[in-house]
Amino acid sequence: MKYSVVNRPAVREDILAVIDYYKEISPKLALQFLKRIREARKYIERNPLSFALKYKNVRTVLLRQFPYHIHFLIDEDKQLVVILAVIHAYRNPSDYSGR
């Protein structure tokens, strides 16, 4: 069953910061990162419950090719996925807990 997916406002900033970083290395790499974000988002949209709970009610998916996780919540009643953050795999998840 397909869920709707929404981003918290800070998610856009997370993604743009990573894209800017990868653009400095290679514009193609930045585009590849964006492609991986889109792929992961589509997979989450189709199969959000296939990801295990990591802590409390937050689930994560690791992007292919890049060391970044998408952290998200699921509201099963509304069939809604709320993306909380896109953060580096080595960053502390509590860095975005105020969102």
The CATH number of whichever domain residue 64 belongs to comes to: 3.30.2310.20
Say what the pLDDT of residue 10 is: 93
Residue 96: which pLDDT band, with cuts at 50, 70 and 90? low
Number of domains in the chain: 1
Task: Give how far the C-alpha of residue 21 lies from the chain's centroid of Cα atoms, to the nearest Å.
Answer: 17
Res 89 pLDDT > 90: no
Percentage with pLDDT > 70 across the chain: 92
CB 33 within 8 A of CB 59: no
Residue 99 lies in a domain: no
pLDDT in tens, 57-78: 999 999 999 999 999 999 999 9
Three-state secondary structure of the chain: CCCEEEECHHHHHHHHHHHHHHHHHCHHHHHHHHHHHHHHHHHHHHCHHHCCEEECCEEEEECCCCCEEEEEEEECCCCEEEEEEEEECCCCHHHHCCC
Residue 96 lies in a domain: no
pLDDT in tens, 43-57: 999 999 999 898 889
Across residues 80-94, what is the average pLDDT?
86
| Domain that includes residue 71, residue range | 4-91
| Greater pLDDT, 25 or 97 | 25
Locate 7 and state its tokens: 């981003």
